[in-house]
Copies of this chain bind each other. A is one copy, B any other.
Amino acid sequence: MEYWALVTGAAALVGLLVAFTYSRMVTREDAGDEKMQSIAAAIREGAMAFIRREYQVLAVFVLVVFALIAIFIWYKPVDVVDGQRVIGSGVYTGIYTALVYVLGAICSMTAGFVGMNIATKASVRTTRGAEKEGIGKALTIAFRGGAVMGLTVAGLGLLGLSLVYLVFVKWWQVVTDPAGQASIIAGFGLGASSVALFARVGGGIYTKAADVGADLVGKVEAGIPEDDPRNPAVIADNVGDNVGDVAGMGADLYESYVGSIVAPITLAATVFALSGSSGVVKGMLLPMMIAAVGIISSVIATLFVRSKEGSHPARALNAGSYGAALLTTIGTLFVVIFWLRGVESVKNPVGFWVSIVSGLIAGLAIGWISEFYTSDRFPKVREIAKSSQTGPATTILAGFSEGMESTAGAIIMLVGAIAAAYLAGEWAMPDVANSGIYGIALAAIGMLSTTGMTVSVDAYGPIADNAGGISEMSGRPPEVRRITDSLDALGNTTAAIAKGFAIASAGVTALALFKAYTAAVGITVIDLARWQTVVGMFLGGMFPFLFSSMAIKAVGRAAYDMIEEVRRQFREIPGLKDGKEGARPEYARCVDISTKAALKRMVPPATIAIVSPVILGLWDVQALAGYLAGALVVGFLVAIFMANAGGAWDNAKKYIEAGNLGGKGTPTHAAAVVGDTVGDPFKDTAGPCMNIMIKVMSVIALVFAPLFLR
Interface residues of A (CB under 8 A from B): 216, 387, 390-394, 396-398, 400-402, 404-405, 407-408, 411-412, 414-415, 418-419, 422, 436-437, 440, 511, 515, 518, 523-529, 531, 533-535, 537-539, 541-542, 545-546, 548-550, 552-553, 555-556, 560, 563, 625-626, 629-630, 633-634, 636-637, 641, 673-674, 677-678, 681
Contacts and interface: CB of A to CB of B under 8 A. Distances in A.
A393 B208 CA distance: 14
A556 B641 CA distance: 19
A404 B526 contact: no
Among A398, A523, A630, find the residue whose CB has the most chain B CB atoms closer than 10 A: A630
22 contacts: A216-B391, A393-B673, A394-B556, A394-B677, A400-B678, A402-B549, A404-B549, A408-B542, A414-B538, A415-B535, A419-B535, A422-B531, A437-B531, A518-B529, A524-B529, A526-B529, A528-B533, A545-B637, A545-B641, A633-B633, A634-B634, A674-B674
User: Which 6 residue pairs of A and B lie closest in terms of their CB atoms, listed nearest first?
Assistant: A393-B677, A526-B528, A404-B549, A541-B633, A411-B542, A405-B549
Contacts of A681: 397
B541 A515 contact: no
Nearest to A396: B678
A545 B419 contact: no
Contacts of A396: 396, 674, 678
Nearest to A523: B529
A401 B634 contact: no
B552 A401 contact: yes
Given A394-B556, A518-B529, 8 more contacts: A390-B563, A401-B556, A405-B550, A422-B531, A526-B527, A527-B528, A541-B636, A630-B633
Nearest to A511: B534
Contacts of A405: 545-546, 549-550, 553
Copies in the complex: 2
A538 B401 contact: no
Nearest to A551: B401
A456 B387 CA distance: 39
Contacts of A400: 552, 678
Contacts of A529: 437, 515, 518, 523-526
A511 B633 CA distance: 18
Nearest to A552: B401
Contacts of A550: 401, 405
Contacts of A636: 538, 541
Contacts of A436: 531
A391 to B, nearest CB: 7
A569 to B, nearest CB: 18
Nearest to A387: B556
A545 B640 CA distance: 11
B411 A637 contact: no
Contacts of A404: 545-546, 548-549, 552
Contacts of A437: 529, 531
Contacts of A545: 404-405, 407-408, 637, 641
